Structures are given as structure tokens and as C-alpha cells.
Copies of this chain bind each other. A is one copy, B any other.
Amino acid sequence: MILSPTRESVLLTDLYQLTMLQAYFDKAMNATAVFEFFVRKLPGNRNFLLAAGLEQVLDYLEGLRFTPEELDWLRASGRFSPAFVDSLADLRFTGDVWAMPEGTPFFADEPILRVTAPLREAQLAETRIINLLQYETLIATKAARVRQAAPDRHLVDFGLRRAHGDEAGLLSARTSYLAGFDGSSNVLAGMRWNIPLFGTMAHSFIQAHDGEFAAFEDFARSHPRANTLLIDTYDTEAAARGLAPLARKLAADGIAIQGVRIDSGDLGQRAADVRAILDADGLRDIRIFVSGNLDEYSVQALLAAGAPIDGFGVGTRMNTSNDCPYLECAYKLQEYAGAARRKRSEGKASWPGRKQVFRRFDADWRMAGDTLALADDDLPGTPLLECVMRGGQRTGPSPALTTVRDYARAQMARMPETWRKLETGVPYPVEVAPTLQALARQVDSRPV
């Protein structure tokens, strides 16, 4: 509630975007610019990245404008000429966007978004485009890895509370679902995107009652068809042993206990002990759900050790992408006024020109290698960047989130195990087309 009047503002940008726009205005520089978003190199602990965030970027571009209050504030700041501020009043995004669909795996140097627009529009949008694409890609990738670690278990996003602010929590729910999670605890995400919602109970619920079985019974009676009881507040095994009499009592009223959650201790050992107790008591239908600082590594280890766990609540470490909290990503000018450009900064040089990525598949439709090429090259393989916005308007309706989710699953299924697994090793093969190499040489030979 705190920031609503101004927060979705176009002023959520870096000052230099506006000071550069002032200089462009002064020199009437506003020819067509081509910017691309890409990741310079994959993090050492990632074999692939999963593209996400395009939907939010397109919303942002469609809504990009300055309000009268923002223009007044810019005028009063004294940093800009009145004529320049006036010129911002009718600024809209009028350009084209090509992009990889959300849910597409990609690799170093491959653009996942290309913006072609008058310079001032393409430049101004830089900060928010990076802000959205980086974060959603981080989370989609992390969630896809958790899904790889537990292909057939129930996975729920629990990370809102430790995500970095409200938007991070909201986009994490969206993006983890897109990448294969079953749902989220985030109610607003459920309302907004129809993402399946799941929840259990907090320790405070147990503590507020006099005795945990009173708490369990109250909860089950309030939620007869969806109840997962948190059993680790005091003594996990004691709680598990006490479920049999409670289950009989509830069964008399037609209520079944659906599951239990364990949130502390050695989760594998606790799950095994609880499973044994429940099974011995004839409670084989009660599912075991665990949570507590989980990530793809701990999920994989628990399942490899045979822990009888039916579902995982994965939160903090996914929503902060804790082992990789940022990407070496950039949104770079590749062409201006018809001429290809490139940056040559030490260790940060980029490939010039408008680009396309061609992905080859083998006879079983498994990914076999990519070629980074020029946009008008015609090479073997599937071109991954598609036109999604023309003249500032989407080229068609956005796909439903479930459609994107199905697409992402299909893409991941086409990725050979070498890159799908958690451990990193040989990089996925990405070649640079001769045409692009030639263009880079040509650009470098121009005087600066």
C-alpha cells in the first residue's frame, strides 16, 4: 500500500537515461536504435537459463508514459530544459520487439529480447527491461532446476516473505509456476494469474491453542477437504503418534487428515520416522510435506536418500536465487541509424548488429546446438526470436500462463540430460555464424 501513487512510474529508471535523453534532444538525435538483452556468460553453477519476464516487459512498454505530476517534478528539478521536458509529454513506446518466448532455455551471448525503436524510447526503457528480465529469468531457472530434482513430487512456492519486496514475491509465484511448480502460497498471485494456491498452518496457530491436538482438530474441522497439519512445533514424533486417535474422531464426522508438514530438523530422517508411525497406525493416505530452506540440491539429496516425502515447500532460496542472485546481463546498443555498433570495453565486448538465434534439434527433437547469427541470416534450425510487438502494440494476445508452462515443460524435455542436470560441466554448444564474425571485424575497423 505504501507506494501506489507513484510506484509504477516511468521514473523508476536511472537518472542517466533522462540526462542522455536531454542530450539527444539538444542534438535532435532520435534515429532508429536496436538494443538487445543478453547474458554475457552463464553463472558457474548453471548449465542453462530459462527465459522469463517478457509478459511484464510488454505491459511496461505498452503503458510507458509520463504523468503531468512527473513532468512537473522534472521541470522543478532544474536539471532539464523546459523544451525537453515538454517533449516527454507525448513520449510513447512505438517500436518493435522480437523475443524468445517465455520458457525457452538460452545460453551466453544469446539475445532473448531485441528492441527496435526511436533512440529515446529504446534507451529510456533500459533500466526496467533489465530489472524485469533478469529477475524472472533467475527465478524461472532456479525453479526449473528444483523441478528437475523432483520430477514427480508436489512443489509449492513458499517464498513471498523472504523475496526482495512485493514485486519479487509476486513474480516469483508466477515464474516458478511457469517453470513447473504446482502452485504457490501467494494469494495475490492466485487472484491475478489463477495460479493454484496451497497452504498449511504456522507454528503460531499451534502455539495459540492450549495443546497441538486441539489446534489440529480445529483446523481440520474448519478445512475438512484441505488440511495439512504442522507437526514439528514441540515434538514431531509425538505429534505423529497422536494423529491416529484424532483421525478416528474426525472420520466419524467424515473428515480426513490430508497431510502433515515438517519444517525443522533432519527432514529425511523425520519424514521416515513419521511415515513409519503413520503407516503403522493405518494412516497411509496422509501425505508428508516438508519445508525449511530447501533448494534443488537439498531436494535432490533427500530423494536420492529415499526420503518418503510427497511434496516440498520451496521458498527463500528459490525466490532470492541465493546461489546466483544476479546475472551478468546487459541491454546493449547493437545498431544505430542503420550502422552496427559494439562496445569493446575490457572483458565486456559484445556482438554487434541485429541478431537471431537458430537452434538445431536431432532426430529425436533433442537440442543439438545453437548458432548466434544475424537477423537476416537463413540458417538450419529453428529461429528462437519472434516478433511480439510491432509499432508499440502486441502482435497478438498473450498466451495463457498455463500455455507458457506447457511450452516450458516441452522445451525442458528436449534438453539433453548433460545440461538438464544440476551439476555443471561441458557448456552447451553455441556457434557464432561467419556473417556475424565478419560484421564484428568490420565494426572494429571503423575509427572511433
Q: How far is the CA of A447 from the CA of B164 in the complex (A)?
A: 39
Q: Is A38 an interface residue (CB 8 A)?
A: no
Asked if B3 and A170 sit within 8 Å, CB to CB, the answer is: yes
Q: How far is the CA of A1 from the CA of B201 in the complex (A)?
A: 33
Assess A9 versus B188: contact at CB under 8 Å? Given A1-B63, A16-B199, A204-B123.
yes
- CB A155 to nearest CB in B, in angstroms, measures 15
Assess A204 versus B35: contact at CB under 8 Å? Given A56-B2, A187-B12.
yes
Q: Is A284 an interface residue (CB 8 A)?
A: no
- CB A34 to nearest CB in B, in angstroms, measures 10
Q: How far is the CA of A63 from the CA of B63 in the complex (A)?
A: 26
Provide the A147-167 mask, 1 if CB < 8 A to any CB of B, else 0: 000000000001011111111
Assess A131 versus B160: contact at CB under 8 Å? Given A60-B1, A165-B168, A347-B264.
yes
Q: Is A4 an interface residue (CB 8 A)?
A: yes
Q: A130 contacts which chain B residues (CB < 8 A)?
A: 161-162
Provide the A222-251 mask, 1 if CB < 8 A to any CB of B, else 0: 110010000011111000000000000000
Asked if A336 and B207 sit within 8 Å, CB to CB, the answer is: yes
Q: How far is the CA of A77 from the CA of B132 in the complex (A)?
A: 30
Q: How far is the CA of A188 from the CA of B161 in the complex (A)?
A: 24
- Choose among B6, B199, B203, B347 the residue that contacts A188 (Cβ–Cβ < 8 A): B6
Q: A211 contacts which chain B residues (CB < 8 A)?
A: 447-448
Assess A134 versus B162: contact at CB under 8 Å? Given A16-B201, A208-B119.
yes
- CB A400 to nearest CB in B, in angstroms, measures 17
Q: A13 contacts which chain B residues (CB < 8 A)?
A: 160, 186-188
Q: Is A73 an interface residue (CB 8 A)?
A: yes
Output the nearest chain B residue to A84 by Cβ-Cβ distance. Answer: B222
Asked if B23 and A219 sit within 8 Å, CB to CB, the answer is: yes
Asked if A166 and B167 sit within 8 Å, CB to CB, the answer is: yes
Output the nearest chain B residue to A328 by Cβ-Cβ distance. Answer: B293
Asked if B171 and A165 sit within 8 Å, CB to CB, the answer is: yes
Q: How far is the CA of A3 from the CA of B234 in the complex (A)?
A: 40
Q: Is A356 an interface residue (CB 8 A)?
A: no
Copies of this protein chain in the complex: 2
- Choose among B2, B70, B321 the residue that contacts A59 (Cβ–Cβ < 8 A): B2
Asked if A322 and B326 sit within 8 Å, CB to CB, the answer is: yes
Q: Is A47 an interface residue (CB 8 A)?
A: no
Asked if A326 and B162 sit within 8 Å, CB to CB, the answer is: yes
Provide the A177-209 mask, 1 if CB < 8 A to any CB of B, else 0: 000000001111011100001111111110110
Q: How far is the CA of A221 from the CA of B191 in the complex (A)?
A: 51
Asked if B127 and A160 sit within 8 Å, CB to CB, the answer is: yes
**Which residues from 12 to 65 on chain A have a C-beta closer than 8 Å to any C-beta of chain B?**
12-20, 22-24, 26-27, 29, 33, 35, 56, 59-60, 63-64
Q: Is A263 an interface residue (CB 8 A)?
A: yes
Q: Is A325 an interface residue (CB 8 A)?
A: yes
- CB A17 to nearest CB in B, in angstroms, measures 8
- Choose among B138, B170, B345 the residue that contacts A12 (Cβ–Cβ < 8 A): B170
Output the nearest chain B residue to A232 by Cβ-Cβ distance. Answer: B345
Asked if A212 and B161 sit within 8 Å, CB to CB, the answer is: no
- 7 sample A-B contacts, Cβ–Cβ < 8 Å, listed by A number: A2-B8, A2-B63, A19-B219, A20-B204, A23-B221, A128-B166, A166-B167
Q: Which 10 A-B pairs have the closest CB atoms?
A: A15-B199, A165-B167, A1-B63, A16-B199, A265-B346, A204-B333, A164-B164, A23-B222, A264-B345, A164-B168
